[in-house]
Structure 1
Amino acid sequence: MTLVKFNNGTRKHVTGPRFIDVFDPIFNDRFFAPSNVAKVPAVNIAETETGFEIELAVPGLKKEDIKINVDKDVLTVASEAKKEEATEGKNYSKKEFSFNSFSRSFNLPDSVDQNNIEASYTDGILKLVVAKKEEAKLQPREIAVK
């Protein structure tokens, strides 16, 4: 089997742009990207009754390497690149490990409580829990018929 990278600019949209968008991640995989291209961690965002959960895949980092800031309505997660230590006595035939800086920002909706954000880091997954304001939480109630 041969993997072929397609260039978005040269591909014809035979079946329409929506169909092509579905398959873009397959043909634009990170394995094809040059090592000097900026990479950002993959993210999952879920809304719960009490808030939002943001998970970032950041394997290989220590808790101390991660910086989380909130400025106005923007939550930013960042990390600085690690310096690779020179290894004497090793003659690599292939060396693919690289540690790049990244910064990922998220616009927070008005419904969140910016003073109630928690972060945890386990097994390479950074999990942020952003609580909703009390008035924004969905509360079941009964409505009387008049």
Structure 2
Amino acid sequence: MINEIFTRWETNRKSGFLCNAILTTYSIGKSVSESKLRYFSIIISIIHKFLCMLAGCSLPYKAEIAPSVLFPHGLYGVFISKGAQVKNGCIIFHQVTIGSSSLNSAKSPLICENVLIGAGAKIIGQIKVANGERIRAGHSIFHSIE
């Protein structure tokens, strides 16, 4: 967990304090929610939700976000659904939605390695975005990109 936090800090060091605080509480909360430290888990969850509210973002613990994902403009307006997977080396700009097509988190996107997602892009549904793809700003994606 400590290595994951330091990797996130190093990757997003220019993204601002709020972004790093959210990513830190995400890493700690994800680890603690699976353990038996119930009261500590509740405290971290409250802090995480408050910080997300300040940034207008959603980053649930059930989302799989690799430690080396870069948020160059912070997490302002970023929504990632609870079943989504974002692999190493991805760059996600502000106002991006990576969401499921239903209330069932099993239908969430898989973003492979080294994908660039431009500002305001929407990736919706059970789709896969292949390694190294570029999604331009403002685009909506509803089908897999191989």
> Do these two structures clear the TM 0.5 threshold for a shared fold by scoring above it?
no
> Which gives a bigger RCO, structure 1 or 2 (Cα 8 Å, sep 6+)?
1
TM-score of the two chains, using structure 2 as the length reference: 0.22
TM-score of the two chains, using structure 1 as the length reference: 0.22
Higher Rg = 1
Identify the structure with the greater strand proportion. Answer: 1
